Amino acid sequence: MNGRVLLIGGSDPSGGAGIQADIKTVTALGSYAATAITALTAQDTRTVYEIMTVPAGVVLRQLRAVLDDIGADCLKTGMLVGANVVEALCDELSDRYPDIPLVVDPVMAAKGGQRLLDLDGCAALKRWLIPRATVLIPNVPEAEYLTGLKISNLAEAKTAARSLLDLGAGAVLIKGGHLAGEQVRDVLLTEAKEHVFAAPRIPTRHTHGTGCTLASAIAAGIAQGLTLVSAVERAKAYVLHALRHAPGLGHGQGPLGHAHPWKARQMKKEKIPTSGG
């Protein structure tokens, strides 16, 4: 396998999102997945029933155990629960592992609306974690919360991405799934360039864990030495493939088809058009 990814986030026993989706994604794309668990949840495709937070010290012990032995070529954060975990993680990364690329998925709420990061945690994420991010990957509601801006179209998404870039992130990818249109258009902004990725909107209820999957796929690409644009292109193609091959499980928003046979040549079939600015 090529590339090592340390996945930092919450566990989803239904297997569709969180650490379970992260591991499936990274493995399917040919990288090695290791984990640091921040929370245990009781959830299914319909709702989150209960959350048990892992103490910040235990999260850090997991982090050190992996990085000081196996190492990592990229880190990816998902559900971080609260400010104590966010701050402890940022201190640890700055002090001991400042050079490892970091993909930040600012998980704030489940698709059912249940809060997964408390208000203090959101403030800590904005103040401490975003400036550490190699790439920040919010959806539209998360980007609106972090910027205070209304996002109803691609132009407004670009403005919000610039605002988030000004907070210190190396790059910002705002996902367009919440915006209207037959195509889903995501905007990637760096200090140097702007790229828009367009993909067909798949009419399906099986969207549980799409954000986790996309962010982990991007992390796998970075770990393997792909450019950020290439990592996003492949990640988008993988998510599209997984949506089209969802197994049809669950009574709510079902999981993706993470394990459906995937090869690099699928890029030719699942090509994601990209426009550069």
- DSSP string of the chain? ---EEEEEEEE-TTSSSHHHHHHHHHHHTT-EEEEEEEEEEEE-SS-EEEEEEPPHHHHHHHHHHHHTTT--SEEEE---BSHHHHHHHHHHHHHH-TTS-EEE----B-TTS-BSB-HHHHHHIIIIIGGG-SEE---HHHHHHHH-----SHHHHHHHHHHHHTTT-SEEEE--TTS-SSEEEEEEEESS-EEEEEEEPP--S--BTHHHHHHHHHHHHHHTT--HHHHHHHHHHHHHHHHHT----SSSSPBP-TTS---TTHHHHS---EEE-
When mean pLDDT is compared across 6-15, 110-119, 191-200, 208-217, the lowest value belongs to 110-119
Q: Which two tokens stand for residue 148?
A: 């205070």
Q: Per residue in 201-225, pLDDT tens?
A: 989 999 999 999 999 999 999 999 9
Query: What's 153's domain CATH number?
Result: 3.40.1190.20
Give me the pLDDT at residue 277, please. Answer: 60
- The SS3 of residue 126 is helix
Handedness of CA 8, 65, 135, 23 (dihedral sign): negative
Give the range of the structural domain holding residue 223, as residue numbers without chain letter: 4-276
Catalytic residues: 175, 207, 209-212
pLDDT-based confidence at residue 139 (cuts at 50, 70, 90) = very high
- What percentage of the chain exceeds 90 in pLDDT? 80
Q: Per residue in 45-60, pLDDT tens?
A: 999 999 999 999 999 9
Q: Kindly list the distances between the CA atom of residue 127 and the CA atoms of 123, 168, 252, in Å, as whole numbers in the listed order.
A: 6, 9, 35
Give me the pLDDT at residue 206, please. Answer: 93
The total of structural domains in the chain comes to 1
pLDDT-based confidence at residue 267 (cuts at 50, 70, 90) = low
pLDDT-based confidence at residue 179 (cuts at 50, 70, 90) = confident
Does residue 261 carry a pLDDT above 80? no
- The pTM of the full predicted model, rounded to 2 decimals, is 0.93
Mean pLDDT across the stretch 248-277? 76
Residues paired with 185 in a beta bridge:
198
Does residue 194 carry a pLDDT above 80? yes
pLDDT-based confidence at residue 262 (cuts at 50, 70, 90) = low
Q: Per residue in 145-170, pLDDT tens?
A: 999 999 999 999 999 999 999 999 99
